[in-house]
Amino acid sequence: MKFRRLGRSGLVVSEIAYGNFLTHGSQVDEETAIACVRAALDVGVTTFDTADAYAGGRAETVLGRALAGERREGLEIFTKVYFPTGRGANDRGLSRKHIITSVERSLRRLRTDHIDLYQAHRFDHHTPLRETMKAFADVVRSGKALYIGVSEWTADQIRAAHVHARELGVPLVANQPEYSALWRVIEAEVLPVCRELGMGQVVWSPIAQGVLTGKYAPGGVAPHGSRASDHTGGGALNIQGYLRDDVLERVRLLRPLAREAGLTMAQLAVAWVLRNRDVAAAIVGASRPDQLIENAAASGVTLDSGLVARMDAVLAPVATVHLDRRP
């Protein structure tokens, strides 16, 4: 396992981060979830990402149990706040009340006294940004979180938050966006702004919800147990945008490139993301330990520039580069 510094902060993270969206507390049983975490630790993963809203808090709880007994100094535990965690009017968003309440609950579920990176899961249009950033700064000063970041914020939102963070003396160090060879939206504006401000990228869905593994055939039925067949935890809904025949046909054309590189399709997809030096870590999920082991093998892989160019050319007709210009 290789490691990278998170932006211009002093925090070092594993190139492969283990994420438990749609798995822990939902798609897989706890025994399997713990086995996946053990597999991650065995291959050198030290960075683990979750959120308080995943599976109604159960994802944090399962992760906390799975990591119990591990040397805390050797782990980087990330979680997020924003989405509803209850029925009350204040059980959502980025108000001071919700942030302070949520961080305490996350700490209990994760069985830790601090969170390494506490992230705003989305931008809150109903709460003054100064209030949000002041609450995050206070969480850091209290020692309950060491660093703060954001997830799926626009370049303008990130720049505005940076002003407050700088004034408060608690800088933003990370952004967690979706990023893959099929979803390149952040390249135009978000990456340049984050680079300027010293923020690293901890990207999610590097294999495009599993589509870049090549397991979905054009016109075919989703394999049993795949994300596309999960109609209970939201997996099927999230992947629908990629399950078009034109996308799947293009993905099939990547098979010779993966063979040429000596990689599986999943490894090729993760290595493509990690070739970008703005990316500190790629978050991978797993419903079986072998999936985690396979994906983690992409750490340290150097892709030939010519192969990357051919891969980009294959996917260009179906890759989303700008939100206002979907293929």
Which of the residues are catalytic?
A: 54
SS (H, E, C) the chain: CCEEECCCCCCEEECEEEECCCCECCCECHHHHHHHHHHHHHCCCCEEECCCCHHHHHHHHHHHHHHCCCCHHHCEEEEEECCCCCCCCCCCCCCHHHHHHHHHHHHHHHCCCCEEEEEECCCCCCCCHHHHHHHHHHHHHCCCEEEEEECCCCHHHHHHHHHHHHHHCCCEEEECCECCCCECHHHCCHHHHHHHHCCEEEEECCCHHHHHHCCCCCCCCCCCCCHHHCCCCCHHHHHHHHCCHHHHHHHHCCHHHHHHHCCCHHHHHHHHHHCCCCEEEEEECCCCHHHHHHHHCCCCCCCCHHHHHHHHHHHCCCCECCCCCCC
